[in-house]
Structure 1
C-alpha cells in the first residue's frame, strides 16, 4: 500500500503558533511526513512563510508583507498571539524550512499566495530555491491561483502541483490534466469517495484540507485519499499506526 502523506498544516498548527519554526519542528516530532505552508514575498524579494498577506492576525500590526523588507518582517513577534510561551517566534523564510527538512524524507507542500497580492516572479523564485536544495522530487506546489500552477509547470515540469479549491468542481481530474496538475487539494467537504476513485483512475490524487477530526480522517482514508492536510498530525499518526499504514 502506498504511504499516506501526513501533511502538517502550517506545521503543527493545533499545538504551536502556525507557520513558525517551532511549529514545523513539532510537526516532525508528532509523526508528520509532510509539511504544508504558505509562501509570500517581502518588499526586497525574500520568500517568507506566512498565511495572511498582513501581520494583523499573527503579529498584531496592520502591515502588509509586500511593503516590508525581510528584516522588518523578522522584527515582529508572531508567537505570543498563540501563547505567551512562544513570544519571540518570527516569520520564517522558505530557506529555513528547506534547511530543516533537507536531510529527512519529508514532503513539503508550498502554497503560493498569489490571490490577493500577485507577487511577480514568485513562481520562479520558489523553484530556484527548491532546486538549490535539490528537493524537486519532495515538493508539491499548490495554489488557489491556478495560473501560478501553470507557470510553475512551464518552469519546472518535474515538480508536482496541486489544485486548491473549495467546492463543486465538475470532474476536477479532467481539469487537473488540462493544466498539468498532479493532485487535487480540495476542501474536506468538497469530496466524496466516488470522486476520489474517479480521480485515481485518471492518475490524479487527492490531498484534502484541513481535516482535524479523527472520524473524518478515517472516512477519507477509507475513500482512498493519498494524503491529508491537518492541524493535528499526531491524530493522523495514531490513526495510521492503528491501521498499519
Structure 2
C-alpha cells in the first residue's frame, strides 16, 4: 500500500462503511478554531459562524507574542497563514496588528472573549507552547469565564497552572492510543483528546471512559461522510471544522 493511501486510511480523509446508526448519547459539538470550515480560523468571523450554527462550544489556538499579547493563531510562524511575517514568539503585537488571514483580521484572546462572554457556550483553549498559561487564565478570569474553560495542550507543562487552579484540562495526542488515555489519567487531566482515525478511535473512546475521563475527538478534514464516521464512534466531545455537518447528521438519527 502506498504512503498516500495509508495516510488517507490512518487519518480518516476517506469515509468508512458506516453502520447507519448514531449513539443515543449526543456529544458536545465544538467548533474547531471557531469554525474553520466556514470562515478563516481563529478569527471573529469563525467564532460568529460557530455561534450562528449553534455550537456547544468553540476551540481556539493561543500563542503569545514577544510583548506578551495573547494571539489567536495556530502556526508558530506568521508567514505560513497570514499577511504578517516572523515567528509569533519573536514579534510584538504592534507589528502583527492589522494583519489578515484570508481577508479576516488576526485577533487577540480578549477580542474573542468579548464576543463569547454573553454566549452560552464552553471554551476550549489550546495552548501551543508553555510559559503563558497563567496569563491566559488571568485574562479569562477577567471575563468571568473560568467555569466554562477547558485548557488543552500536548504538553502537561502547559496544563500545570490550570491544574493548580482547578480549571478543567485536557491532554492532546496526535493518535488515538491507549497510552494517551493512560497518560491523561496518570496526569490527572479531565479528558483526553486526539485526531480521529478509523478503526482506532472507537477503542480510544472506550479506553478514556474506562479511566473516568472525557473522550474528545477532532477531525482534520471534514466531509459529511467523515463527520458521520466520527460521530458513530460516540465521543463525549466532537471538535470539528464543520459543526453544521455534525448537527445535520444528529438531526437525522
Q: How does 1:1-245 map to 2 (within 5 A)?
A: 3-79=26-102, 87=103, 89-114=104-129, 118=130, 120=131, 122-154=132-164, 156-157=165-166, 159-167=167-175, 169-189=177-197, 191-210=200-219, 212-243=222-253
CA contact (8 A) 1:217 1:228 kept: no
| Contact 1:150–1:180, Cα closer than 8 Å, also in 2 | no
Q: 1:162 to 1:97 in 2, by over 3 A?
A: same
Answer whether contact 2:62 2:128 (CA < 8 A) is retained.
yes
CA RMSD of aligned residues (A): 2.0
> 2:112, 2:33 → 1: CA distance?
11
Counterpart residue number, 1:84: none
Q: How many residues align?
A: 228
- Could you state the TM-score of these two structures normalised by the residue count of structure 1? 0.85
Structure 1 segments unaligned to the other structure (5+ residues):
80-86
Q: Stretches of 4+ moved more than 4 A in 1?
A: none
CA distance in 1, matches of 2:243, 2:147: 22
Structure 2, unaligned runs of 5 or more: 1-23
| TM-score between both structures, scaled by the size of structure 2 | 0.82
Q: Answer whether contact 1:143 1:162 (CA < 8 A) is retained.
A: yes
Residues 62, 93 of structure 1: CA spacing in aligned structure 2 closer, same or farther, 3 A cutoff? closer
